[in-house]
Amino acid sequence: MAEHSPESPCAVSFPLPWGSLRGLAWGNPDAPMILAVHGWLDNAASFNELAPMLAHEWYLVALDLPGHGASDHRPAGETYELLDHVRDIAVLLSQQQREGITFVGHSLGGILGALLAAACPERVGRLVMIDSLGPVVGRAEDFPGQLGKALRKITRGARGEAPVYGSPEEAVEARLGGRIPLSRAAAEHIVPRNLIQDGQRWVWRTDPRLRYPSMHRLEEEEVLAMFRAIQCPVLVAKACQGLMDFMGEIIQPRFEALADGSLCAFEGGHHFHLDGDVVGLAEEIKRWLDGADLD
């Protein structure tokens, strides 16, 4: 297999039973692997800034999750539940015969890495969670209502016309707002990979089903059990102005549940690995990986 440049990524594709996961790869495929997984509605380009700083020593593969970026959408009738993503990554690593990888996940990607590390400890040797420390949870008494809300949306389907843009720049402008707004620097990396050109117009290639409500949310005791089950070293890289600031009092018990957890904080917002102190984050990850290798 040809070596990919640390600075310029190569396109990669992984066939799964239902379709293909695609992504970007930096570095030498014979080097130890870092699997990088992005957040909700982002894509592999989320690691455009961080990956080249790590790819001189590691083979970094950044995935597009199903329905995101260049990866295939799930077949008609399927949904995008949290555990479905974990299953797909487990299948991919099994096919690639990869064990003991370093998993770097931003936001949703960090949650998936934690679930995989808890359930399949042989697959994940070290875990880096970027502004991520577990999912939004539900309560048992809320489950019937949550399921009903999801089923109504699934049966009704997407309504209305998808937004159309005259240029990628218009789409970048649109993405600056939203529930989790992006800075312009982050949007200019992420948005083009989530677009497809249709004649003289540009439309989102992201599957609209990604916005459907979850049919089931984990409860806090399940999340704590997940963190207690993780035995590999875990680095939590927190944004000082990120989403973890809104997690409140659940952060401390979750972090303390880790057998081998380290915490560091960086100035910036939720996408600080793209538009913040990327150099500082890369250096911290390298220092931490070197230390974890000695344990």
In a domain, 208, yes or no: no
One-character DSSP codes across 210-249? GGSPPS----HHHHHHHHHH--S-EEEEEETTSGGGGSGG
Domain-embedded: residue 145: no
Residue 1 pLDDT level (bands cut at 50, 70, 90): very low
Span 79-83, average pLDDT? 95
Q: What residue has token string 């299953």?
A: 87
The Cα angle at residue 186 between residues 185 and 189, in degrees rounded to 5: 95
Residue of 193 and 3 predicted with greater confidence: 193
Domain-embedded: residue 192? no
218 is written with which tokens? 């984990």
Inside any domain, residue 171:
no
Tally the domains of the chain: 1
CA angle at 190 for the pair 73 and 263, rounded to the nearest 5°: 100
pLDDT 10s digits, 218-261: 999 999 999 999 999 999 999 998 999 888 899 999 999 999 99
Average pLDDT over residues 35-40: 98
Torsion sign across C-alpha atoms 58, 283, 224, 136: negative
Domain with 110 in it:
10-139+218-294
Say yes or no to pLDDT of 168 above 90. yes
CATH of the domain at 276: 3.40.50.1820
Q: Helix 220-229 to helix 108-119 angle, to the nearest 10 degrees?
A: 60
Residue 8 pLDDT greater than 50, yes or no: yes
Residue 203 lies in a domain: no
For residue 54, being part of any structural domain is answered with: yes
pLDDT at 294 over 60: no
Looking at the domain assignment, is residue 86 inside a domain?
A: yes
Instruction: Give the HSE-up count for residue 277: Cα atoms under 13 Å, Cβ half-sphere.
Output: 15
pLDDT greater than 70 at residue 138:
yes
Chain mean pLDDT for the chain: 94
pLDDT of 140 reads 96
> pLDDT tens digit string along 184-212?
999 999 999 999 999 989 999 999 999 99
Q: Which of 13, 107, 132, 262 is catalytic?
A: 107
**Whether residue 8 lies in the annotated active site:** no
**Model confidence pLDDT, tens digit, residues 89-131:** 999 999 999 999 999 999 999 999 999 999 999 999 999 999 9
Identify whether the C-beta of residue 74 lies closer than 8 Å to the C-beta of residue 80: yes
Residue 32 has pLDDT above 90, yes or no: yes
Residue 88 has which token pair? 């797909």
Q: What count of other Cβ atoms lies within 10 Å of the Cβ of residue 5?
A: 13
Classify residue 196: in a domain, yes or no.
Answer: no
